[in-house]
Structures are given as structure tokens and as C-alpha cells.
Structure 1
Amino acid sequence: MPNIKSAIKRVKINENKNAQNSAFKSAMRTAVKKFEAAVEQNDDNAKELFRNAVKQLDKGVTKGIIHKNTANRQKARLAKKLSSLGA
């Protein structure tokens, strides 16, 4: 544990940010899994869940939680699953 006041504050801030990032990452993964489950069951709301998953991935990029290319790759895979649903 640090002794300097600013270092103590930094540890607290890092813990809070870590908790926020973990929660957001979990929500992002949940959105993707909900979409994939909807595709498996051929649900009607798959398109809406796709939009939500893409939105979450884009927010993750904006917040710096995931890399831009990672989000683009995941979105492309989800879009591919969505298009196979329509075929």
C-alpha cells in the first residue's frame, strides 16, 4: 500500500475504473451472447439484438475497453450470422 497521498488516491481511482470497465465488458459480452442465442433459435428480434450488440461494441471502442479492429471483427462475424439467418 502506498504512503503518498496522491498514490493512495490513484489506487482508489484505478480500482473504481477497473470495476466500471469489467462491468461494461460483461454487459457487452452479454449483448453479443443474447444475439447469438436469438440467431440459434431463429427469433424475430434478432435484428434488434444485433443493433444492440453493435452499439455496445462501438461504445467499448469509444471508452477504450476494446480495440477498434477487435470490435470490427466481432461486428463482421455477427453480421455474417444475421445474414445467414435471413437466407
Structure 2
Amino acid sequence: MANTPSAKKRVRQLERRTEINKARRSRIRTYLRKVEEAIAGGDQAAAKTALQDAQPEIMRGVTKGVIHKNTASRKVSRLSSRVKAMA
């Protein structure tokens, strides 16, 4: 348990950041799910549009420190190859 004032403050800050990061991660997952659904539906135009919407959101997660750069690149790469394979 935090005893010093600085440790108590860090706990408060951590709780706030955790909430923000949860929201960001959830938002990224939502965009990924939209791409997955478009791919499953077989609509290449919708999948391409969904991927273009998801890509900046995924990279924003990298700049905010929610996900690692390589993880984001891997996700974008695999999704784009799947969208391209629909043709």
C-alpha cells in the first residue's frame, strides 16, 4: 500500500491513465473488428475503407504508448494482405 504522498499521487495518476488506455485499446479493437467483419462479409470495398479508417487509429495507439510499434505494423500488414487477397 502507498504510504508516502508521492506514492499516493502515482497511484491516482496510474488509475487515470489506466482508464484512458483502456478506452484507447477498446477503440482500436472496435476498428479492427469492423475490418474483420468486412473481410468475413466478402465486401472488398467495405474492407478497404474499414482498413483505411483503422490504420491511423492503430498508429495513434503506438504514439500514445498503448501498443508496440511492431505489433501495430504486424496487424496492419496482415489485415492489408487479407484485404488484397479478396480480389
Ranges in structure 2 where 5+ consecutive residues have no aligned partner: none
Identity of aligned residues (%): 41
Deviations 1:22-44 (A, max 9, x none): 11111101110111101111234
Show structure 1 runs of 4+ deviating over 4 A: none
Letter in 2 for 1:34: K
Superposed CA RMSD in Å reads: 1.2
> CA–CA distance in 1 between the matches of 2:53 and 2:16?
26
Q: Secondary structure at the match of 2:85?
A: helix
TM-score by length of 2: 0.89
Deviations 1:10-56 (A, max 9, x none): 10100110111111111101110111101111234222210111111
For these two proteins, the number of residue pairs brought into alignment is 86
Ranges in structure 1 where 5+ consecutive residues have no aligned partner: none
